[in-house]
RNA sequence: AACCGUGUGUUGUAAUGGUAGCAUUUGAGAUUUUGACUCUCAAGGUAAAGGUUCAAGUCCUUUCAUGGUUGCCA
């Protein structure tokens, strides 16, 4: 048996080393710990992928834990959207969703433990004073005058904090570590603060809340998480993470950091996304232009594409900026495999086939997906008057133009070859109607005409066409890193053409019956999905992405 | 400046000290009843300098570049 060398990322190598050494009896348990204060975005997508896939690879489990230690910003709306999005992505967490707030009692006890060990103290210093004490990265800090407060006094004050005897900001509980540590986080970090605020789950039970550093690691430990995978920004927190676990004496979860994924033209700052929503640059968190999972779902991206995107972009520790084109190529590749082909004319111009008998019509079969024989076909009505795309007819075509022009032949996809004979114009010289003749022997699939037509056009028969609204989406920003320019706001790079509405496109009747989960390809145009805002009276389709267009690219040169 | 990280084609990511590969992108061509898809070919890379070694992207040293760290956010 020859062994194929399998390349592993650094997290997998670390886990395999742990398994080989018998750590935790080879158990692998990860967690995804979002704060419920915003919608999940492409960056979370990567974290979800890494946590769930890594555990699954080693037969382990993954918890979903809401890191809800800041009642001021958190809300149940987000708790729900987050669960919906993770499920949509295709992952299922272990058991019920968990909440850091469920551990508030234990965390309080942990704090008491530290106080009793002389490793935490209550400090009434003001915010400014504490900042002074902290020093700077190059300058050691100084001890708080309250650092050596006796244990009994700390205990009494801490309980008073809990009982609501002190207002917000009056005092905090601090860990007693090392005010001269090179790592600023080790300079007696705050672990509990007073916040007389209503919590989305614990209500008014608490008026003190633990800080992230005093909640996250311990929550991992309580859940017996073996591998706590997080992004690089928490690297500096690892010594603190370990310090608390060690000094409280609880299960030794270990943190490993990876570089978070950055994607060109997408922003992932919750605050900046929220501003786009609040100031109506987009229609909501699920606007198809947003980098949120909800947005990408509404845009028509498939969950498997997102998973594959995460896989293909890999796991490493270096900063990265993934090209948007890579995401697009994956989205196209998956959609190409499964999308139903239909014809929709975005900017119609009427074509009259003068030698086609008036009043006659026929039904012509069109393959649902040439990539997949088993997808079958549907029928399109054909008759004397049809619409084609305005841009597919030119009076004075350039070289290598395969489309319709006077005296030129084209194939109507799935139908006949036609030749343009004449046309009508309005008073401004714009073409309003094209008159053609068709070749009865050139019928699709049984062509005996011998006529060669290089161009193939999509079309929709006038009488049976239905009106639909199209929303053509493009990237939200005109710059790949809109929020990385000094002195410029990311809003300055807002792409005003990121949404173009086509109110009256002409679609074949098939679209009247599609569901909102059916991926569609509007032939020669792009991939679309029915929007949730559609009603029986008004159908709306979102453009997921265009088809590649080499002709347009050639034209630009 | 100090501390902690990170440097492989345009971008992303592989390579057990032993042939620098894959995808994307770009370009050329073939094919095509979607100027799509598919196929073929091509372009393009180990930050720099030294060292160890039969052999260095990989190990060591120095330099350079780059990210993070001075919230009662997570």
Which residue is nearest to the C1' sugar atom of B16, using CA? Answer: A5
Distance of CA A247 to the CA centre of its chain: 39
Distance of CA A434 to the CA centre of its chain: 44
Joined tokens for residue A364: 């012509």
Three-state SS sequence of A328-345: HHHHHHHHHHHCEEECEE
A172-175 and A208-210 beta bridge pairing: unpaired
Is strand B less than 7 A from the beta carbon of A280? no
Confidence at A486, pLDDT banded by 50, 70, 90: confident
What does the alpha-carbon distance between residue A283 and residue A532 come to, in Å, rounded to a whole number? 13
Strand B contact residues in chain A (301-340), C-beta within 7 Å: 312-323, 325-326, 328-329, 332-333, 336
**Tens-digit pLDDT profile for residues A197-216:** 999 999 999 999 999 999 99
Out of A35, A94, A379, A469, the active site residue is A35
A353: left (phi over 0), alpha (psi -120 to 50) or beta: beta
Beta bridge mates, A123: A172
CA–C1' span, A4 to B16, in Å? 12
**Tens-digit pLDDT profile for residues A130-178:** 999 999 999 999 999 999 999 999 999 999 999 999 999 999 999 999 9
Strand B contact residues in chain A (459-518), C-beta within 7 Å: none
**From the alpha carbon of A182, which nucleotide's C1' atom is closest?**
B3
> For residue A3, is pLDDT > 90?
no
Task: Return mean pLDDT, chain A.
Answer: 96
**Fold assignment, A344-458:** Ribosomal Protein L25; Chain P (2.40.240)
User: For position A7, what pLDDT does the model report?
Assistant: 87
Provide the sign of the torsion angle of the four alpha carbons A125, A129, A130, A133, taken in this order: negative
C-alpha dist (Å) from residue A482 to A279, A290, A525? 17, 14, 28
**CB distance A368 to A376 below 8 Å:** yes
CA–C1' span, A340 to B39, in Å? 24
Provide the sign of the torsion angle of the four alpha carbons A533, A535, A541, A544, taken in this order: positive
Q: Is A27 a catalytic residue?
A: no
What does the alpha-carbon distance between residue A240 and residue A219 come to, in Å, rounded to a whole number? 14
**CB distance A100 to A221 below 8 Å:** no
Strand B contact residues in chain A (378-417), C-beta within 7 Å: 400-403, 411, 413-414
> For residue A362, is pLDDT > 50?
yes
Is strand B less than 7 A from the beta carbon of A35? yes
Q: Is A427 a catalytic residue?
A: no
Specify the pTM: 0.95
Sketch the domain layout of chain A as residue ranges. Answer: 10-260, 270-340+468-556, 344-458
A270-340+468-556 is a CATH 3.40.190.10 domain: no
Is strand B less than 7 A from the beta carbon of A523? yes
Is strand B less than 7 A from the beta carbon of A209? yes
Residues 6+ apart with CB under 8 A from A346: A389, A470, A502, A505, A525
Q: To which CATH superfamily is domain A10-260 assigned?
A: HUPs (3.40.50.620)
Size (chain A), residues: 557
Look-up of token digits 């997921």: A544
Torsion of CA A284, A286, A290, A293, to 10 degrees: 150
CA–C1' span, A31 to B73, in Å? 20
Which residue is nearest to the C1' sugar atom of B74, using CA? Answer: A212
> For residue A378, is pLDDT > 90?
yes
Percent of chain A with pLDDT over 90: 96
Look-up of token digits 């229609």: A283
User: For position A439, what pLDDT does the model report?
Assistant: 97
Q: Is A260 a catalytic residue?
A: yes
Strand B contact residues in chain A (54-113), C-beta within 7 Å: 67, 69-70, 73
Beta bridge mates, A365: A379
Q: Which nucleotides of B are covered by protein (CB under 7 A)?
A: 1-8, 10-16, 23-27, 33-38, 66-74
Look-up of token digits 């029915």: A530
Strand B contact residues in chain A (226-245), C-beta within 7 Å: 232-237
Is strand B less than 7 A from the beta carbon of A216? yes
C-alpha dist (Å) from residue A335 to A150, A330, A331, A365, A369? 66, 9, 6, 22, 11
Decide whether A270-340+468-556 matches A344-458 in CATH topology.
yes
CA–C1' span, A261 to B65, in Å? 21
Helices (H), A300-415: 303-313, 324-338
Distance of CA A462 to the CA centre of its chain: 39
Out of A270, A289, A307, A530, the active site residue is A270
Residue A284: Cβ-neighbour burial (10 angstroms; 0-12, 13-18, 19+): middle
**How is residue A429 annotated by DSSP?**
S
> For residue A248, is pLDDT > 60?
yes
What does the alpha-carbon distance between residue A186 and residue A171 come to, in Å, rounded to a whole number? 19
**What's phi and psi for A41, nearest 5 deg?**
-125, -175
Out of A193, A260, A403, A443, the active site residue is A260
> Mean per-residue pLDDT for A55-66?
98
Beta bridge mates, A41: A292
**CB distance A241 to A248 below 8 Å:** no
User: For position A4, what pLDDT does the model report?
Assistant: 56
């Amino acid at each position: 048996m020859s062994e194929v060398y399998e390349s592993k990322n650094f997290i997998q190598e670390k886990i395999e080393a742990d398994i080989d050494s018998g750590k935790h009896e080879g158990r692998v348990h990860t967690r995804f710990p979002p704060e419920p204060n915003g919608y999940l975005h492409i960056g979370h997508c990567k974290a979800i992928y890494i946590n769930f896939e890594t555990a699954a690879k080693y037969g382990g489990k993954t918890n979903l834990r809401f890191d809800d230690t800041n009642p001021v910003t958190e809300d149940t709306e987000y708790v729900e959207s987050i669960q919906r999005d993770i499920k949509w992505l295709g992952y299922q967490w272990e058991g019920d969703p968990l909440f850091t707030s469920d551990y508030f009692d234990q965390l309080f006890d942990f704090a008491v433990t530290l106080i009793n060990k002389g490793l935490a103290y209550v400090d009434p210093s003001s915010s400014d004073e504490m900042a002074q004490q902290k020093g700077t990265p190059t300058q050691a800090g100084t001890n708080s005058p309250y650092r050596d407060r006796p244990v009994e006094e700390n205990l009494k004050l801490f309980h008073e904090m809990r009982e609501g005897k002190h207002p917000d900001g009056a005092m905090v509980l601090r860990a007693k570590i090392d005010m001269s540590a090179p790592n600023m986080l080790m300079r007696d970090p705050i672990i509990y603060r007073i916040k007389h605020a209503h919590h989305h789950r614990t209500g008014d039970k608490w008026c003190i809340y633990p800080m992230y550093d005093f909640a996250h690691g311990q929550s991992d430990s309580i859940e017996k998480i073996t591998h706590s995978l997080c992004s690089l920004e928490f690297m500096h927190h690892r010594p603190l993470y370990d310090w608390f676990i060690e000094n409280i004496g609880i299960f030794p979860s270990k943190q490993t950091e990876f570089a978070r994924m950055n994607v060109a033209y997408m922003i992932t700052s919750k605050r900046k996304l929220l501003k786009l929503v609040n100031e109506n640059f987009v229609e909501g968190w699920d606007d198809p232009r947003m980098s949120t999972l909800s947005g990408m779902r509404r845009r028509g991206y498939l969950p498997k594409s997102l998973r594959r995107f995460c896989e293909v972009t890999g796991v490493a520790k270096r900063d990265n900026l993934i090209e948007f084109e890579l995401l697009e190529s994956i989205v196209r590749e998956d959609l190409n495999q499964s999308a139903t082909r239909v014809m929709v004319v975005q900017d119609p111009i009427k074509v009259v086939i003068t030698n086609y008998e008036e009043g006659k019509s026929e039904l012509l079969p069109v393959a649902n997906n040439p990539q997949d024989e088993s997808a079958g076909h549907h029928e399109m009505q054909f008759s004397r008057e049809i619409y084609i795309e305005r841009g597919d007819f030119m009076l004075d075509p350039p070289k290598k133009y395969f489309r319709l022009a006077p005296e030129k032949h084209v194939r109507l996809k799935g139908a006949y070859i036609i030749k343009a004979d004449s046309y009508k114009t309005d008073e401004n010289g714009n073409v309003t109607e094209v008159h053609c003749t068709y070749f009865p022997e050139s019928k699709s699939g049984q062509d005996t005409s011998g006529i060669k037509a290089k161009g193939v056009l999509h079309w929709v028969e006038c009488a049976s066409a239905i009106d639909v609204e199209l929303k053509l989406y493009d990237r939200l920003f005109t710059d790949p890193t809109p929020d990385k320019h000094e002195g410029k706001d990311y809003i300055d790079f807002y792409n005003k053409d990121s949404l173009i509405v086509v109110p009256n496109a002409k679609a074949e009747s098939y679209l009247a019956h599609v569901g909102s989960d059916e991926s569609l390809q509007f032939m020669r145009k792009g991939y679309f999905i029915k929007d949730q805002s559609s009603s029986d009276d008004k159908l709306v389709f979102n453009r997921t992405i265009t088809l590649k267009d080499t002709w347009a690219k050639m034209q630009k040169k």
